[in-house]
Amino acid sequence: MKPDLLSAQLEVETGFYLLAIRRAGRYLYRPRGMVRLQAGDELIASGPDEGQAVLAERCGYRLVEDDDTGEIELVPAGTAAD
């Protein structure tokens, strides 16, 4: 069973406030409580730089920074970085 947003405690653990979920081309604004994340959901969130890596990890990704440009890319966890 997937955890709901209340038990996931994204705001507490990452400092990020979830503004919306984009799911199948539609938006669910200000999701709270018993809403469950699904595969393919896109999160729209706001928060501190310090919480980015934790949020990415909680969602099955990791952040990879380009040494030359400083750009940050989301890479699915378990894949090699280019």
Q: What is the pTM of this model?
A: 0.76
User: Is 5-76 a CATH 3.30.70 domain?
Assistant: yes
Digit-coded pLDDT (tens) for 33-58:
889 988 889 999 999 999 999 999 88
Overall average pLDDT of the 28-33 stretch: 92
Residue 70 to residue 28: CA distance in whole angstroms: 32
Overall average pLDDT of the 58-75 stretch: 89
For residue 9, the SS3 value is coil
